[in-house]
Chain A
């Protein structure tokens, strides 16, 4: 087979509902992968990046959400990108590698030579084409993308060959400063490797009659045979055996675990649009359309009064109405929201169908990592005129007629 005919598929892990309570209250009505960043659903960003790879045959989304949550999105994105995108629902937890293995027949349908594995909640530039080239040069079974960070790194890589020498999950002491970016490329050998792990585990269980005490000590005691984790069960044991390599990137990289981080990442993608798709960003000088500062996305159906001032880092979704004299800075405004005259929104996320009253103020300090560092209004929250909401989280369907600060409102 010619190298140029080698097909490639991508698998994006999207997670599931009960696992991600950290994304509340935004996750109450919308699955996290569909939450919009820079005007597009979170999962859209890795999907668009995959589309740039040549010979991409299919994209698979694997997760625990009900199929119907993804039906509309998957069919519309397949149409738009002219490439099959399918959602595969896992029936039970099998670990990050176990899930991949479970769907191996579907994934290998087109006989791909390489399989990308991406985590949906990673925000980065997705340098997938370069990563694939590097992987082919290394000639191993898998390549993990890595980045230098000021954290407890999990990966140790050979500086010359880039081979993955050592991998440890969540180290408590210093091991390295290279972190796992959650993007992988594998050859189909990965399925054999995963199967070996299951088989080995089964053999262990059969061979030894563990005493109760031993059984309690065994690290695999809790896991069924087909539960295989990518980190501990594949990366760790295969490190140092000339099978796994690393690809280092220098670009921005964040994990989108909390609503606060989604605001930060929305900003990162908006600033990336400035280089990759500047036509998506809004412009305006305050004469016939609102004054736009910095990187701003405004959905075509949104109506923003010309005397409003928007930005930097603002994303406005469909059917939003922003009234005269309103000021929006560093915020995400979701569908059907009404921001009334002279209101101010800073460092906040305003949930679907909410209403921000005249002269009211919704703001936060802007610390993306603090629990109350970004103000979050859930779906259908009404902030009455002149009310001030600071550093707070408000659950759906509440009406605020008194000012609040540093509070979670159930």
Chain B
């Protein structure tokens, strides 16, 4: 009997998995999160979590597990729709008690390990970036360690957990939470690529990945960090959401500005959904996103703001540095600025001025808000 040596050529069909840490109540993004769970809040005209799911799909991830602990029914409905559209399997892993930042990985263990030995991604749902996941896979295979994390450079590292690493290899030496003296300016970007063996280090109990798991792997010299190219933002609160929009649109401009609006009515980077209608004499931009079904009447000025689905901005209004929630209306000659946030179905009367008003859903506002205030 002759021995045949058969070489298996992987046709690039490696099935990778990913876990997205969706977590809790999203209270920092209230009042928007009083209407939908945080991952479904739109960012640049797309639910936040869709940005991540699409990035994962693009590099061949076939299954995404969402680690959630809140409103699973709403999430599951949404997921069915996108499972079909995107052709990717999406499942939920629901915490019955808060498990911290590492516990959910243990909870989802059976979904993440399939015996193939392939590493899996873990993403934090509040983060937006360019998601250079292919580069991360190469980096991970290159160093041969157990876990890779993305880090990003920030101006004020003491606000976060700093990752101290060897510059050339990226080998992580240690984590320092909110350092009082300067130890480095790279922080955990919330994007990880982990070998299945990492799951053996995590018990099914409330556990912190930064305080317990990663330091252990670093001590064994098996944790490596890659500096995230491009922009990074944690958009879990409104001010950072607006800043993140600017970064995101800027990155769109650099890559394929076909999506961005162009014309004499637009300044800088502006994203307009194709079903939105914009009147005459408007000046829109920079850094504006206008969602599906919006009506922007004539003479409107919009800058640095996010206009969610179904919003109507009436004539001559002026909106800057604000977020306008789904199906709200802004009256004629109204002026909104300084992180005004309107929840779902909020109606601002004509000529109203809002300086940082935060308005909960289903309200009518007839008088001006002169200084930042929450309207319940």
Report which A residues bind B (CB closer than 8 A): 18, 21, 24-25, 28, 393, 395-398, 408, 410
Q: Does B24 contact A (CB under 8 A)?
A: yes
Can you identify 24 A-B contacts, CB atoms within 8 angstroms? Answer: A18-B362, A21-B360, A21-B363, A21-B376, A24-B360, A24-B376, A25-B376, A28-B34, A393-B376, A395-B27, A395-B30, A396-B25, A397-B24, A397-B25, A397-B27, A398-B27, A408-B374, A408-B376, A410-B27, A410-B28, A410-B30, A410-B31, A410-B358, A410-B374
A140 to chain B: closest CB distance in Å?
38
* A397 contact set on B, CB distance < 8 A: 24-25, 27
B347 to chain A: closest CB distance in Å?
12
Most interface-central of A21, A396, A397, A410 (chain B CB within 10 A): A410
| Smallest Cβ-Cβ distance to B376: which chain A residue | A24
User: Which 9 pairs between the two chains have the least Cβ-Cβ distance?
Assistant: A410-B30, A397-B25, A408-B374, A18-B362, A24-B376, A398-B27, A21-B363, A397-B27, A21-B362
Instruction: Provide the B20-40 mask, 1 if CB < 8 A to any CB of A, else 0.
Output: 000011011011001000000
What's the Cα separation between A393 and B376 when bound, in Å?
10
Report which B residues bind A (CB closer than 8 A): 24-25, 27-28, 30-31, 34, 358, 360, 362-363, 374, 376
A210 to chain B: closest CB distance in Å?
24
* A393 contact set on B, CB distance < 8 A: 376
What's the Cα separation between A164 and B360 when bound, in Å?
41
B180 to chain A: closest CB distance in Å?
19
A65 to chain B: closest CB distance in Å?
14
Question: What 17 new A-B contacts, CB under 8 Å, besides A18-B362, A28-B34, A410-B374?
Answer: A21-B360, A21-B362, A21-B363, A21-B376, A24-B376, A25-B376, A395-B30, A396-B25, A397-B25, A397-B27, A398-B27, A408-B374, A408-B376, A410-B28, A410-B30, A410-B31, A410-B358
* A408 contact set on B, CB distance < 8 A: 374, 376
* B27 contact set on A, CB distance < 8 A: 395, 397-398, 410
* A396 contact set on B, CB distance < 8 A: 25
* B31 contact set on A, CB distance < 8 A: 410
| Smallest Cβ-Cβ distance to B363: which chain A residue | A21
| Smallest Cβ-Cβ distance to A18: which chain B residue | B362
* A28 contact set on B, CB distance < 8 A: 34
What's the Cα separation between A28 and B376 when bound, in Å?
11
What's the Cα separation between A397 and B358 when bound, in Å?
19
What's the Cα separation between A225 and B31 when bound, in Å?
36
* B28 contact set on A, CB distance < 8 A: 410
What's the Cα separation between A60 and B358 when bound, in Å?
38
| Smallest Cβ-Cβ distance to A408: which chain B residue | B374
A389 to chain B: closest CB distance in Å?
16
What's the Cα separation between A18 and B361 when bound, in Å?
9
B76 to chain A: closest CB distance in Å?
20
| Smallest Cβ-Cβ distance to A25: which chain B residue | B376
| Smallest Cβ-Cβ distance to B341: which chain A residue | A410
What's the Cα separation between A393 and B360 when bound, in Å?
14
What's the Cα separation between A410 and B30 when bound, in Å?
6
B73 to chain A: closest CB distance in Å?
15
A365 to chain B: closest CB distance in Å?
19
What's the Cα separation between A396 and B360 when bound, in Å?
14
| Smallest Cβ-Cβ distance to B30: which chain A residue | A410
* A21 contact set on B, CB distance < 8 A: 360, 362-363, 376
| Smallest Cβ-Cβ distance to A371: which chain B residue | B376
What's the Cα separation between A52 and B24 when bound, in Å?
48
* B360 contact set on A, CB distance < 8 A: 21, 24
What's the Cα separation between A408 and B373 when bound, in Å?
9
* B25 contact set on A, CB distance < 8 A: 396-397
B240 to chain A: closest CB distance in Å?
15
A404 to chain B: closest CB distance in Å?
13
* B362 contact set on A, CB distance < 8 A: 18, 21
A381 to chain B: closest CB distance in Å?
11
* B34 contact set on A, CB distance < 8 A: 28
Most interface-central of B24, B363, B374, B376 (chain A CB within 10 A): B376
What's the Cα separation between A393 and B28 when bound, in Å?
15
What's the Cα separation between A228 and B146 when bound, in Å?
72
B175 to chain A: closest CB distance in Å?
22
* B376 contact set on A, CB distance < 8 A: 21, 24-25, 393, 408
* B30 contact set on A, CB distance < 8 A: 395, 410
* A24 contact set on B, CB distance < 8 A: 360, 376
What's the Cα separation between A90 and B288 when bound, in Å?
41
A405 to chain B: closest CB distance in Å?
15
What's the Cα separation between A273 and B216 when bound, in Å?
62
* B374 contact set on A, CB distance < 8 A: 408, 410
What's the Cα separation between A219 and B279 when bound, in Å?
33
* A398 contact set on B, CB distance < 8 A: 27
| Smallest Cβ-Cβ distance to A407: which chain B residue | B374
* A25 contact set on B, CB distance < 8 A: 376
A401 to chain B: closest CB distance in Å?
14
Most interface-central of A28, A397, A398 (chain B CB within 10 A): A397
What's the Cα separation between A379 and B30 when bound, in Å?
15
B340 to chain A: closest CB distance in Å?
14
What's the Cα separation between A395 and B360 when bound, in Å?
11
A394 to chain B: closest CB distance in Å?
10
What's the Cα separation between A21 and B28 when bound, in Å?
21
What's the Cα separation between A3 and B143 when bound, in Å?
95
* A18 contact set on B, CB distance < 8 A: 362
| Smallest Cβ-Cβ distance to B364: which chain A residue | A21
A262 to chain B: closest CB distance in Å?
15
A114 to chain B: closest CB distance in Å?
37
| Smallest Cβ-Cβ distance to B26: which chain A residue | A397
What's the Cα separation between A239 and B104 when bound, in Å?
67
What's the Cα separation between A25 and B376 when bound, in Å?
8
A399 to chain B: closest CB distance in Å?
9
| Smallest Cβ-Cβ distance to B374: which chain A residue | A408
A408 to chain B: closest CB distance in Å?
4
| Smallest Cβ-Cβ distance to A398: which chain B residue | B27
* B358 contact set on A, CB distance < 8 A: 410
B367 to chain A: closest CB distance in Å?
15
Most interface-central of B31, B34, B358 (chain A CB within 10 A): B34
What's the Cα separation between A393 and B374 when bound, in Å?
11
Most interface-central of A21, A25, A393, A398 (chain B CB within 10 A): A21
What's the Cα separation between A207 and B121 when bound, in Å?
72
What's the Cα separation between A410 and B27 when bound, in Å?
6
What's the Cα separation between A25 and B24 when bound, in Å?
19
